[in-house]
Amino acid sequence: MPEKKDPVIRKLCISVILLLVSMIGAHFVQNSGASVVIKDLRWETSLGHEMSALLLIPPNATAKTPAPAIVTSHGWYNNREMQDLNYVEYARRGYVVMSIDMYGHGNSEAPRGIEPNTYYDFSPNEWDKHGTGMYDAVLLMSSFPYVDTSKIGITGHSNGARAVNLSIEDDNKAPRPLVAAALLVANDPIYQNPATNEYWNLYGSRDVGVIAAQYDEFFFRRPFADGTVSVPRTYITTPDAQSFLHFGADPGKNSLDKRTAGTIYQDQVGGSQALRVIYTPNQIHPWNHFSKTCVANGVEFFEAALGAPNPIAPGNQIWQWKTVFNVIGLVGFVSFLLSFTLMMLRTPVFASLKAEKPVVAQEAPRGQGLAWFWGGLGIASIFSALIYFNVLTWSIGHKPSFFTQYPPYGISLWAMLCGVLAIILMILSYKFYGKKNGQDLYASGALIPFGTLLKTIVLALFAAFVTYLWVFIADFFFKTDFRIWALAIKAFTVDKLIAAIPYLPLFLIYYVANSVSVNAFNNNRLGNREWINIAVLAFFNSLPSIVLVVLQYSVFFSSGEMLFAKFPLGHLGGIWQFPIIVILAIAAVISRRIYKETNNPYLAGIINGVLVTVISCSNTLTIL
């Protein structure tokens, strides 16, 4: 009889195929079928900091035929790859595109000088100088022989749009202004002269556009002297928007026609023809950088402002295929992690960690056991949801200096407290129910020998390391990574590992405790089906985050205000929950799959903790 194929090796091979398909497919989408050259730039700026960017050079851009150029930027706590939808579409239309990592983000050097224990006040410091690096990118772009220096545009999302405003201010002071067009996505233009509070035209004769989402959580809202309050849904009718579309005229002092969204308006400014436009897509702030509509708006704007060397209809877009390939990579990443870890259990070094036979689920809990099961899940979920914004608020003024990143600090503290509660619940469950009903902590893997724990740690670190190597392969050879919207697994520089060290113990407390709870205490049949059990546990892992998002946005969509807006991080904290929903659900599935083969919940818990720490600290802002 033919030898039966090994399912672990087969799954490992399939995961490798998925990873390769992802890398190659995403690469060919973003370079428009190998026609666009993509370079990974590092350079020293005039501020003495290293800057990072992806540079895309289309075939039409040569020294003999210089092309228009666009510098694009992500927002707070993101990185250059977050702009992939824009740089893919702009490059295939013939623009030279530079997508930057702002200072302190991605691979760009972290600045110094922040005031201790502050969050919003970044002054005095170097972080926002030269448009947080955007204007340094403009200066570099202008030095390329294949760039038409009379047609350089800049654009950015959220804080990247703030960088646009800062860059315009720098450009206004330059002996030779370089910026011809600016598109602000998800942030306000500067309407008034800060010295006089009078409406003005900061942008001069440049072409300027704004993408103002009707459900933006942060911007396009402010009170006016007459008592009215601007909200995103009515933004286009406000004096601010009307002044912008009338090139800085004061609506209160002039009889101005009412201008509308989506219409490009032109006028003579300083002897030159200039244009203004405001787009108002029906979406939320973070959806702007995952939106076909926003891409189409940007394509339309820059074609009108700079002229596209290779005009393509705004609705003709291919970046979505890159997203498809990136998602395939995410699936391959998780599949490889599981398959590789299980394969290593067959090696002599780690064979002792493999269970003698696969772990099977216990009988469905009854009576008091059922109360402990559902009660524990309910208490943990309520506690997690209730403390989240309070923990984030507390973290703002209580961050030790060796924690150099704000979001991972607040989130890791929240995770740690949830992990501590899980440990307390497990102790109480064992003392008042499990012990008298024959629960054996060693038999279930809740307790393991010290020697086994050491070997577990080694395998967890090795599996995480080898799996993450695929991300660096994708970055080095194909200039891509594995991501979808706000969930990204990307390559990083060594300084991110150093920055991650303080956060690792906090995340480990949660993910190890969660794995022990999911497996050693709650591995049972529900409805006589084991899969129902893990589905329920994965759901309850994510339930607090789901509840927070649903509450936040239900109120926001109905009233125009965020439910948790009273908290300093009420807006951002809600957005941070989007990827957490997915991560927590996947963590439960990963831990159960590994536990079934090892009877050891610590292996998956450590793997999850390490990977989440690295993912969190490589996708945010670092300020030393």
Residue-level pLDDT at 622:
86
Residue 209 class from Cβ within 10 Å (0-12 exposed, 13-18 middle, 19+ buried)? buried
Residue-level pLDDT at 577:
95
Residue in 67, 87, 91 with CA at minimum distance from that of residue 147: 67
User: What confidence category does residue 599 fall into, taking pLDDT thresholds of 50, 70 and 90?
Assistant: very high
Whether the bond between 348 and the residue before it is cis, its omega within 30 degrees of 0, is: no
Whole-number Å distance between alpha carbons of 313 and 109: 38
Please give the C-alpha separations between residue 549 and each of 297, 411, 543, 546, 575, in angstroms, as whole numbers.
28, 15, 10, 5, 8
The pLDDT of 90-118, averaged and rounded, is 83
The string of pLDDT tens digits covering residues 533-548 is 999 999 999 999 999 9
Please give the C-alpha separations between residue 323 and each of 30, 74, 94, in angstroms, as whole numbers.
10, 17, 21
Structure tokens at 138: 């403009």
What CA dihedral angle connects 125, 128, 129 and 130, to 10 degrees? Answer: 170
Considering the entire predicted model, what is its pTM? 0.94
User: What confidence category does residue 119 fall into, taking pLDDT thresholds of 50, 70 and 90?
Assistant: very low
Residue-level pLDDT at 129:
80
The string of pLDDT tens digits covering residues 450-506 is 999 999 999 999 999 999 999 999 999 999 999 999 999 999 999 999 999 999 999
DSSP symbol at 372: H
Q: Which residues contact 424 (CB under 8 A, 6 or more apart)?
A: none
DSSP symbol at 96: E
Residue-level pLDDT at 131:
83
The pLDDT of 495-520, averaged and rounded, is 96
What domains can you pick out in the chain, each with its CATH number?
37-317 (3.40.50.1820), 322-617 (no CATH)
The string of pLDDT tens digits covering residues 215-263 is 999 999 888 777 777 889 999 999 999 999 999 999 988 889 999 999 9
Residue-level pLDDT at 554:
94
Contact indicator for 290, 85 with CB cutoff of 8 Å: yes
The pLDDT of 25-29, averaged and rounded, is 97
Residue-level pLDDT at 367:
87
Scan for tokens 């208490």, then name that residue: 379
Residue-level pLDDT at 229:
77
What single string gives the DSSP state of each residue in 134-196?
Answer: HHHHHHHHTT-TTEEEEEEEEEEETHHHHHHHHHHHHHHHSSS--EEEEEEESS----B-TTT
The string of pLDDT tens digits covering residues 234-244 is 999 999 999 99
Structure tokens at 274: 């200039």
The string of pLDDT tens digits covering residues 42-67 is 999 988 889 999 999 999 999 999 99
Residue-level pLDDT at 115:
45
The pLDDT > 70 percentage for the chain reads 96
Q: Which of 126-135, 221-230, 291-300, 586-595 has the lowest mean pLDDT?
A: 221-230
User: What confidence category does residue 3 fall into, taking pLDDT thresholds of 50, 70 and 90?
Assistant: low
Is the four-CA dihedral 361, 366, 369, 372 of positive or negative sign?
A: positive
User: What confidence category does residue 123 fall into, taking pLDDT thresholds of 50, 70 and 90?
Assistant: very low
The string of pLDDT tens digits covering residues 106-115 is 999 987 654 4
Residue-level pLDDT at 126:
66
The string of pLDDT tens digits covering residues 324-337 is 999 999 999 999 99
Structure tokens at 348: 């002599």
Is the four-CA dihedral 398, 403, 407, 413 of positive or negative sign?
A: negative
Structure tokens at 365: 């809990």
Residue 137 in this model has a pLDDT that exceeds 80? yes
Structure tokens at 170: 């720098």
User: What confidence category does residue 566 fall into, taking pLDDT thresholds of 50, 70 and 90?
Assistant: confident
The pLDDT of 10-23, averaged and rounded, is 97
Q: What is the mean pLDDT of the chain?
A: 93
User: What confidence category does residue 288 fall into, taking pLDDT thresholds of 50, 70 and 90?
Assistant: very high
Residue 383 class from Cβ within 10 Å (0-12 exposed, 13-18 middle, 19+ buried)? middle
Structure tokens at 343: 């394969």
Contact indicator for 472, 19 with CB cutoff of 8 Å: no
